[in-house]
Amino acid sequence: MTLAIPFDNSYARLPAALFTRQDPVPVPEPRLLAWNEALAEELGITGTPDAAIFAGNALPDGATPLAQAYAGHQFGGFSPSLGDGRALLLGEVIDRQGQRRDIQLKGSGRTPYSRGGDGRAWLGPVLREYVVSEAMHAMGIPTTRALAAVLTGEEIYRETALPGAVLTRVAASHLRVGHFEYFAARDDRASLQALYDHAVERHDPGAQDPLAFLQGVITRQSALVARWLGVGFIHGVMNTDNTTISGETIDYGPCAFMDNYHPTTVYSSIDRHGRYAYDNQVQVLPWNMAKLASALLLLMPDPDAAIQPFTEAVHAMPALIEAQRQKVFAAKIGITTPRDGDAALIDDLLALMQAGGSDFTNTFRALPTNDAKDHLADREAFLDWTARWHDRLAEEPDPAALMTRSNPAVIPRNHRIEQMITAAVAGDMAPFERLMSALARPYAEPADPDLTKPPAQDEVVTATFCGT
């Protein structure tokens, strides 16, 4: 049966300054590598997946492919013109829950926003994003999704020749903080207003004004970053063009999950000063929201008068994020609702883990069992901590069950991702399939216990690269 996507495109009707219509650039030999049947069903897509469509060689009925314009602060510096340089929004669908969702090709060729780039992606980052975004979703963390991955049959060049690929990404929207910055930097209030109206309709239908909208984004993003911390996730490039309005995680470039707990962990090879280190993510987010606030001020009838409430919304963020973080980590140690004293309990455990170089995921996962002590170097200190903790847990209804559903057994560890990519480049998709099936149920013990193990010395990945 021919593939049918029930498009209902709204972005393509927005003012022309917001995007450029652009068709994908065909590739020599599309071959479907991965297809997300469950997601296709959720989106109301019917028929047989067609590699030609997900490579950009054929356009499905109803698609209006376009590249979006956006700007962004990258590592603190402003780039007024970024935009989709290698991605195209095919269109939107209303999913089975009534939610509008974007369907985007990533790696589909050059666009007017490509600057010096080739508009392409290679297989490694495409599969990394596929696996990690689907793992995030299975853990219950808001994220863009992966619908399909295709090989293009084309060689592309990074440091060396690599197999080209296209990812089909699904998102509540692809709107980024950088979309707002783009029009604010140009003082184009009409386009900014149209963008704002579109964003409000999609993400904050109840918002009465730009301040309420800002608060909605702040709430979603604060909850998101707290969830990242809870699974040891380091995004790696929290630029404002990689920070969504929807509150979904987007752009799995040099991202990684920590093995050993250390709060200043950085993996990204381009993040030389640790701007986007694990613990710095809580500081970067308010910085990014300040950029959104500045852009939204232009929509206010009296921007000067609005500065104070907008500033207050941003200044309230550290406390908001910390409260979210405490809630996430309280659940990880079996506490339903944190109260006074619980923050110290959490931070004392983290300090012991840091001192002992404990594996983040496995230590939390072992807490309800007798094996937890094996993960902490200072056993005596851990036993003292355990005594305090058990006193506190006496008041909790079912801490073991709460911990089991708050602490994943299996995460997409860097060394497994790298091994999966190496195998896929050599034509072996078995490690990809093996990872996908374990990561689909992260809170269950995987059939293959190897996937829960930290890397052996020679498997440790010390840096992730942006050469995507």
User: β-pairing, 72-74 with 77-79?
Assistant: antiparallel
Which amino acid does the sequence have at 451?
L
Q: Which of 357, 315, 86, 335 is nearest to 218 (CA)?
A: 315
Active site residues per annotation: 241
Smallest distance from ligand AMP to CB 244, Å: 12
Total residues at the site for Mg ion (CB under 5 A)? Answer: 2
Q: Is 251 in the site for Mg ion (CB under 5 A)?
A: yes
Q: Which of 12, 30, 116, 27 is nearest to 67 (CA)?
A: 12
């049959």: which residue's tokens?
A: 153
SS3 143: strand
Q: What are phi and psi of 94, to 5 degrees?
A: -95, 120
Q: Which is nearer to Mg ion, 47 or 117 (CB)?
A: 117
Q: Which is nearer to ligand AMP, 102 or 251 (CB)?
A: 251
Q: Is 438 in the site for ligand AMP (CB under 6 A)?
A: no
Interaction partner, residue 142 (ligand AMP, Mg ion, none; CB < 5-8 Å by kind): none
Residue selected from 108, 133, 242, 468 as contacting Mg ion according to rule CB under 5 A: 242
Smallest distance from Mg ion to CB 136, Å: 16
Smallest distance from Mg ion to CB 242, Å: 5
Tell me what percent of the chain is helix, strand and coil, each rounded to the nearest 5: 45, 15, 40
Which amino acid does the sequence have at 399?
P
Interaction partner, residue 117 (Mg ion, ligand AMP, none; CB < 5-8 Å by kind): ligand AMP
Q: Is 251 in the site for ligand AMP (CB under 6 A)?
A: yes
Q: Which is nearer to ligand AMP, 239 or 407 (CB)?
A: 239
- Please check whether residue 99 is in contact with residue 52, taking contact to mean a CB–CB distance below 8 angstroms: no
Q: What are phi and psi of 350, to 5 degrees?
A: -60, -40
Which secondary-structure segment (H or E) carries 414? helix 414-425
Which secondary-structure segment (H or E) carries 402? helix 399-406
Which residues have CB under 8 Å from 51's CB, separation 6+? 30, 31, 32, 150
Q: Which is nearer to Mg ion, 242 or 244 (CB)?
A: 242
Interaction partner, residue 84 (ligand AMP, Mg ion, none; CB < 5-8 Å by kind): ligand AMP
Smallest distance from Mg ion to CB 42, Å: 24
- Please check whether residue 226 is in contact with residue 304, taking contact to mean a CB–CB distance below 8 angstroms: no
Total residues at the site for ligand AMP (CB under 6 A)? Answer: 15
Interatomic CA distance for residues 87 and 119, integer angstroms? 7
Q: Is 253 in the site for ligand AMP (CB under 6 A)?
A: yes
Interaction partner, residue 299 (Mg ion, ligand AMP, none; CB < 5-8 Å by kind): none
Q: What are phi and psi of 438, to 5 degrees?
A: -70, -40
Contacts with ligand AMP in 76-115 (CB under 6 A)?
A: 82-86, 113-114
Q: Which is nearer to Mg ion, 108 or 326 (CB)?
A: 108
Smallest distance from ligand AMP to CB 144, Å: 12
- Please check whether residue 211 is in contact with residue 224, taking contact to mean a CB–CB distance below 8 angstroms: no
Q: What are phi and psi of 283, to 5 degrees?
A: -90, -30
Interaction partner, residue 253 (ligand AMP, Mg ion, none; CB < 5-8 Å by kind): ligand AMP
Q: Which is nearer to ligand AMP, 116 or 427 (CB)?
A: 116
Cα-based distances in Å from 85 to 13, 106, 162, 465: 21, 9, 19, 19
Q: Which range touches Mg ion (CB under 5 A), out of 15-23, 164-172, 235-243, 277-285?
A: 235-243
Residue nearest to ligand AMP (CB): 117
Which residues have CB under 8 Å from 465's CB, separation 6+? 254, 268, 269, 270
Smallest distance from ligand AMP to CB 224, Å: 17
Q: Which is nearer to ligand AMP, 153 or 309 (CB)?
A: 153
Which secondary-structure segment (H or E) carries 233? strand 233-234
Q: Which is nearer to ligand AMP, 86 or 375 (CB)?
A: 86
Interaction partner, residue 176 (Mg ion, ligand AMP, none; CB < 5-8 Å by kind): none
Interaction partner, residue 259 (Mg ion, ligand AMP, none; CB < 5-8 Å by kind): none
Interaction partner, residue 325 (ligand AMP, Mg ion, none; CB < 5-8 Å by kind): none
Smallest distance from Mg ion to CB 251, Å: 4
How is residue 167 annotated by DSSP?
E
Q: Is 240 in the site for Mg ion (CB under 5 A)?
A: no
Contacts with ligand AMP in 118-137 (CB under 6 A)?
A: 118-120
Which residues have CB under 8 Å from 55's CB, separation 6+? 24, 26, 27, 30, 108, 150, 152, 166
Smallest distance from Mg ion to CB 82, Å: 8
Binding region for ligand AMP (CB under 6 A): 82-86, 113-114, 117-120, 242, 251, 253, 468
Binding region for Mg ion (CB under 5 A): 242, 251
